[in-house]
């Protein structure tokens, strides 16, 4: 690459200034520490599954709407377990045309599951042409080129300037699938309230020096100064060393490039650490909030039950008092009749009877008033119990929505059934793929917020193969899911796993689509907190739990 040509072109576009002024502005920006927010968008590109050691095959590149002039060709060849990619591009404009934060291009390999791998930096050479030879461990992937602030980024930006195109003569292609992957939205490298000063370039300085400055700025704006202080301070110290080398009269270009690349790597590591710690803090805060809500719901339920029991006891006591008052009234009336029959002899008895009657009437009125109060308390308790039931239904609906974001979930009498498709395992295997572990980790994060939830893990297969083989595979897959959830701190006592082999098809095994639907692992989520005491086991199904 002709670094001088690139730097002079950027200099002409951005305007001149002194290096000392630029360093002073960088220091001022770093002290501002604005809030950083990354918007994630999705994009779909055609991917190719290359057959292992099948020989070489060719694919083309074409420019996107952001850079229609871009084009290229690549040869992909299997090399001892890896894929070697020889690529050549033409028609590439300078990356700074998309913004002062974009200084280079990066070639990415995208797996069908959406995992993006940075395979190499695409440097713009003479006549806007570029060549590079790189390798990847992926066997099925798509290739794209994006504009980036530095070469060591770990997630592609949304500035996609070229994508692979599957040619008619592409050899060794066994299938083509759509690879959907996440991108950092354009402008995501400049946080809100943060302004990069104009990049002050010098024809004697390599491009890597300015990539290093971008990496340090982005790391700080992403919270690295607070959440990854040791790594960030190291990157800042290395950047200071690079600045000193850049201001010497006789610049050691190779040494400056080496130090600048170290700065990029250290700064990006600190940014990645900060992002993970911020996400972890956010998840822990969410768990604490959910745990508090659950504790309040339990306390409210206990109070409501106690209030109802007290109201029922008070009602029974009021009824007993009313019966006593009725008996007293009857006795008073009898005494009054006796007194009237012999008023001279029993005047004192009559007076006592009248007093007893009045007392009985007062007692009856008091009993009736107390009974009315108890009925009101009982009605209030019923309303509270109904509210508790409504809260459980709302929690059940909330969990259904959360699980549906990760896996297809349905609400049944047994509980919430989360369906894991067979693409989470290799064919005929029970080992979880990375994407399966990532999604199960999200499931465990939800379940841990509600300790009373129970999980019944059920493995199923299609009808291909023997009964014994299918039974064993279904048990092993269910066991793998159970074991991984246990590693994610789900209590073993709250989980069971069972394999049903091919005995529970949900679709016809006569078609490939039906067999794929039958190859699944299901999580049956139940518990009193969502109104289900335990997952109901279907009739005539094997009841042997997984060891």
State the chain's mean pLDDT as an integer: 80
Written as six digits, the tokens of 291 are 């745990």
Q: Annotate 316-331 with b (16+ C-beta within 10 A) or e (fewer).
A: eebeebbeebeebbee
Instruction: Give the CATH superfamily of 407-530.
Output: OmpA-like domain (3.30.1330.60)
pLDDT at 245: 84
Rounded to whole angstroms, the Cα distance separating 268 from 271 reads 5
CATH fit for domain 38-190, picks 3.40.1170, 3.30.70, 1.10.150, 2.60.40: 2.60.40
pLDDT at 128: 64
SS3 of residue 430 by DSSP: coil
H helix or E strand, kind and range, residue 472:
helix 467-487
Q: From residue 62, how far is each of 80, 94, 145, 166 by CA, in Å?
A: 29, 17, 10, 10
Assess whether pLDDT exceeds 50 at residue 38: no
Rounded to whole angstroms, the Cα distance separating 24 from 111 reads 43
Written as six digits, the tokens of 26 are 């960088």
Rounded to whole angstroms, the Cα distance separating 178 from 166 reads 12
Model pTM? Answer: 0.45
User: Nearest-CA neighbor of 418 among 521, 531, 532?
Assistant: 521
Written as six digits, the tokens of 116 are 């993006």
pLDDT at 147: 92
Greater pLDDT, 222 or 311: 311
Quote the percentage of the chain above a pLDDT of 90: 29
Q: Annotate 163-193 with b (16+ C-beta within 10 A) or e (fewer).
A: bbbeeeebebbeeeeebebebbebbbbbbee
Average pLDDT value for residue range 410-438: 86
Average pLDDT value for residue range 352-366: 83
Average pLDDT value for residue range 457-472: 92
Written as six digits, the tokens of 421 are 């498709």
Residue that has been written with the tokens 């060891």 in this structure: 547
Task: Give the start-to-end residue ranges of the domains of the chain.
Answer: 38-190, 296-392, 407-530
Written as six digits, the tokens of 31 are 């002290």
With contact defined as beta carbons under 8 Å apart, do 152 and 215 qualify? yes
Per-residue pLDDT band for 444 (boundaries 50, 70, 90) equals very high
Q: What angle do CA 97, 99, 102 make, to 5 degrees?
A: 90
Rounded to whole angstroms, the Cα distance separating 120 from 289 reads 43
Per-residue pLDDT band for 63 (boundaries 50, 70, 90) equals very high
Q: What is the pLDDT of residues 98-147, one digit of tens each?
A: 887 888 999 999 988 888 999 999 988 766 678 899 999 898 889 999 99
Assess whether pLDDT exceeds 90 at residue 318: no
pLDDT at 498: 95
Q: What angle do CA 120, 123, 128 make, to 5 degrees?
A: 140
pLDDT at 538: 41
Which of 30-34, 242-246, 330-334, 387-391 is predicted least confidently?
A: 30-34
CA 181 to chain centre: 15
Through-space distance between the first and last CA atoms of the chain, rounded to whole angstroms: 61
Q: What is the pLDDT of residues 276-310, one digit of tens each?
A: 888 899 889 988 888 888 888 888 888 988 998 99
Written as six digits, the tokens of 439 are 């999604």
Q: Annotate 223-239 with b (16+ C-beta within 10 A) or e (fewer).
A: bbbebbeebbebbbebb
pLDDT at 261: 86
pLDDT at 54: 65
Q: What is the pLDDT of residues 162-189, one digit of tens each?
A: 999 888 776 655 454 455 555 565 555 5
With contact defined as beta carbons under 8 Å apart, do 516 and 473 qualify? no
Q: What angle do CA 85, 89, 90 make, to 5 degrees?
A: 170
Largest CA distance in the chain: 138
Instruction: Please give, one letter per residue, the 3-state secondary structure of 273-284.
Output: HHHHHHHHHHHH
pLDDT at 24: 38
Rounded to whole angstroms, the Cα distance separating 346 from 428 reads 103
pLDDT at 422: 67
Q: What is the pLDDT of residues 241-264, one digit of tens each?
A: 888 888 887 888 888 888 888 888
Highest mean pLDDT among 139-148, 163-172, 196-205, 327-336: 139-148
Per-residue pLDDT band for 206 (boundaries 50, 70, 90) equals confident
């Amino acid at each position: 690459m002709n670094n001088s040509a690139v730097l002079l072109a950027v200099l002409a576009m951005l305007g001149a200034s002194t290096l000392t002024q630029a360093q002073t502005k960088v220091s001022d920006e770093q002290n501002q520490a604005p809030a950083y927010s990354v918007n994630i968008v999705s994009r779909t590109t055609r991917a190719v599954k290359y057959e292992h050691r099948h020989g070489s095959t060719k694919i083309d590149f074409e420019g996107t709407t952001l850079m229609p002039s871009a084009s290229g060709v690549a040869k992909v060849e299997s090399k001892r377990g890896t894929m070697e990619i020889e690529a050549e591009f033409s028609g590439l404009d300078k990356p700074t045309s998309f913004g002062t934060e974009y200084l280079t291009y990066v070639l990415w390999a995208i797996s069908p599951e959406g995992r993006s791998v940075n395979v190499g930096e695409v440097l713009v050479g003479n006549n806007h042409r570029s060549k590079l030879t790189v390798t990847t461990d992926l066997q099925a992937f798509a290739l794209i080129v994006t504009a980036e602030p530095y070469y060591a980024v770990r997630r592609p930006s949304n500035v996609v300037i070229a994508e692979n195109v599957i040619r008619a003569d592409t050899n060794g292609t066994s299938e083509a699938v759509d690879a959907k992957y996440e991108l950092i939205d354009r402008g995501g490298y400049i946080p809100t309230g943060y302004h990069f000063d104009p990049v002050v370039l010098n024809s004697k300085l390599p491009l890597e020096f300015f990539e290093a400055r971008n990496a340090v700025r982005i790391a700080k704006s992403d919270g690295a100064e607070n959440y990854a202080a040791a790594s960030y301070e190291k990157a800042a110290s290395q950047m200071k060393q690079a600045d000193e080398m850049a201001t010497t009269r006789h610049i050691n270009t190779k040494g400056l490039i080496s130090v600048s690349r170290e700065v990029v790597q250290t700064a990006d590591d600190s940014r990645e650490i900060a992002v993970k710690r911020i996400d972890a803090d956010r998840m822990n805060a969410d768990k604490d909030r959910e745990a508090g809500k659950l504790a309040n719901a339990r306390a409210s339920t206990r109070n409501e039950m106690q209030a109802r029991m007290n109201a029922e006891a008070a009602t029974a006591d009021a009824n007993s008092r009313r019966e006593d008052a009725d008996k007293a009234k009857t006795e008073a009336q009898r005494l009054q009749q006796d007194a009237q029959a012999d008023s001279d002899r029993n005047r004192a008895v009559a007076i006592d009877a009248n007093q007893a009657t009045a007392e009985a009437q007062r007692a009856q009125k008091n009993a009736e008033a107390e009974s009315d109060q108890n009925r009101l308390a009982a009605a209030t308790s019923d309303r509270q119990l109904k509210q508790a039931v409504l809260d459980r239904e709302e929690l059940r609906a909330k969990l259904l929505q959360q699980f549906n974001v990760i896996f297809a979930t349905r609400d049944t009498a047994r509980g919430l059934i989360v369906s894991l498709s067979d693409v989470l395992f290799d064919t005929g295997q029970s080992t979880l793929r990375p994407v399966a572990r990532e999604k199960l980790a999200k499931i465990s994060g939800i379940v841990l917020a509600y300790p009373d939830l129970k999980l019944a893990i059920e493995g199923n297969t299609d009808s291909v193969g023997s009964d014994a083989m299918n039974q064993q595979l279904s048990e092993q897959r269910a066991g793998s899911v159970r074991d991984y959830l246990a590693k994610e701190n789900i209590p073993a006592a709250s989980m069971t796993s069972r394999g049903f082999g091919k005995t529970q098809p949900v679709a016809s095994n006569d078609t490939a689509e039906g067999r794929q639907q039958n190859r699944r692992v299901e999580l049956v989520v139940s518990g009193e907190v969502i109104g289900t005491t335990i997952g109901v086991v279907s009739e005539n199904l094997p009841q042997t739990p997984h060891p």
